[in-house]
Structure 1
């Protein structure tokens, strides 16, 4: 009997020791879980703080962007350039009013594909204008400013509208595309650059033109035109429509080429009289 009693007592103590060890292990695991939860909380909190700080910095940068940002906001009265036509006076027409066909072009002066289009088809378009077969309605957009930042699209469009006020839109439009900077270079965002290029168009660089460019006289008009572009369901710039039908980069299954453009205009004008011949736009 006594030995069995002693053995039972030893067994009970062993069981108690095991339970105590298990309890300590459970407590240690709970402490480790608590530490892990605190660590994760600190990481998440730090990330949230980082995001908030970044947002604050971005907000400060945006708030301190200054004059150009205010121009681009589209605030102020809408001042259309002289002779603007179309819905809400958002188009600038080149060519005779009674030309039998209309080419509608949406462009951005910073858009490199627009420059490629202009450089490829400029002479043909001017020939069709001057022979009375076609008039062109230009609409201006600022999508590159929105994609890459800066204000060159807006400022160049405003300057082109300033040129329109004295009947030199077409010549200045061509000069801008011939001298377009790389897409990522916001050179057109500098008034000095736009005024310097005006020197390539005879009689354009005047105090009135300079004031119009520097003051952003037509900025809100340009922004309204850009809004019309965004709401128009167009895929991008350039967009070219012949009598409302898309012809860029192709018309139906035919790609746009100089020969095809002439053919399409001839087909559209079949049975119609051309307008009176107008002088061909020029610019040095």
Structure 2
């Protein structure tokens, strides 16, 4: 029997409560439609016929902050920074977009100032939940953007162009290249080939394994110096509220 949308949300909320993530979250068991598991186009669209992309928010203060990869994690900021904020996301998860547009903005200055590093673990379970390969495609492209030195800007662009629902498999390689067009200096032979050919598909699997090995049950999950966000976790969706949480953790 198919699970109703309300039932899926209730399941996600229950999972969130168990691990201290936000009261609303995307969970690996939200649905079981089954994904393709391969980097591909959702249809035969070419890059020229892919929808136009919106530009990421202007004035990204993290544009000059280095990003690096270790295992299945992308780190943005000084690896020796005093504080670590771990962020677990799936590109198709609408609550992750809500976090990026809300509480995550309170992290920008501390990271730019060198006081905090963000460790991103990028999951792709929503492909299995709802079908398609959008999360896989997006995570592959995000990994490629690290090599191009444009992770922070492209990461912002991916979420700015997230489809309206996680059931929509919109992140095709062609559309991801359209998003990359909005990031100055990102497009190039190596990046384009990586996005189109799925160069980092194995790394996407490594990132998903890191997500599972850490025992994470939903996205977004945010840990500050290894500790969960107090309360029901909803503070991560509001810049001012999350800034208070960070201040209480010694981050400002």
TM-based fold match above 0.5? yes
In the TM superposition, what is the alpha-carbon distance from 1:143 to its structure 2 partner?
Answer: 1.3
Contact 1:144 1:153 in 2 (8 A): yes
How far apart are 1:95 and its partner, in Å?
1.3
Which aligned pairs between 1:30-179 and structure 2 lie closer than 5 A?
A: 69-71=37-39, 83-85=68-70, 89-179=71-161
- Of stretches 142-151 and 259-268 in structure 1, the one that deviates more from structure 2 is 259-268
Report if aligned partners of 1:171, 1:201 keep a CA contact under 8 Å in 2.
yes
Considering Cα pairs closer than 8 Å and 6+ residues apart, tell me whether 1 or 2 has the greater RCO. Answer: 2
- Seen in structure 2, the aligned counterparts of structure 1 residues 205 and 235 have a Cα distance that, compared at 3 Å, is same
Q: Is 1:100–1:269's contact at 8 Å kept on the other side of the alignment?
A: no
C-alpha distance after superposition, 1:27-48 (max 9, x if no partner): xxxxxxxxxxxxxxxxxxxxxx
User: Greater CA deviation, 254-263 or 103-112?
Assistant: 254-263
Structure 2: how far apart are the matches of 1:203 and 1:83?
18
Distance, in Å, in 2 between the alignment partners of 1:117 and 1:123 is 9
- The structure carrying a bigger helix percent of its residues is 1
Residue 244 of structure 2 aligns with which residue?
Answer: 263
**Structure 1 moving runs of 4+ over 6 Å:** none
1:185 aligns with 2:154: no
Displacement of 1:228 after TM fit?
Answer: 2.4
Which entry has the higher C-alpha Rg, 1 or 2?
A: 1
Partner residue of 1:34? Answer: none
Q: What's the CA shift string for 1:84-142, capped at 9, x where partnerless?
A: 12xxx211111122321110001010111111111112322212211222110111101
Cα distance, 1:215 vs structure 2: 1.2
Distance 1:70 1:115, change over 3 A: closer
Q: Does the residue aligned with 1:156 lie in a helix, a strand or coil?
A: helix
Secondary structure (helix, strand or coil) at the match of 1:83 reads: strand
SS of the equivalent of 2:222 reads strand
For structure 2, the residue ranges without an aligned partner over 5 or more in a row are 1-33, 41-66
Number of matched pairs: 190
Give the C-alpha shift of residue 235 in structure 1: 2.1
Per-residue deviation at 1:246? 1.4
Task: Flag the 1:70–1:97 CA change in 2: closer, same or farther, 3 A.
Answer: closer
Residue-by-residue CA offset, 1:257-280 (whole Å, 9 max, x unaligned) = 43343233334337xxx9xxxxxx
Unpaired runs of at least 5, structure 1: 1-61, 73-81, 275-284
CA distance in 1, matches of 2:233, 2:149: 35
Shift of 1:254: 7.2
In structure 2, C-alpha distance between the alignment counterparts of 1:254 and 1:139, rounded to whole Å? 18
TM-score under structure 2 normalisation? 0.69
Contact conserved, 1:187 with 1:193, CA < 8 A, in 2?
A: yes
C-alpha RMSD of the superposition: 2.3
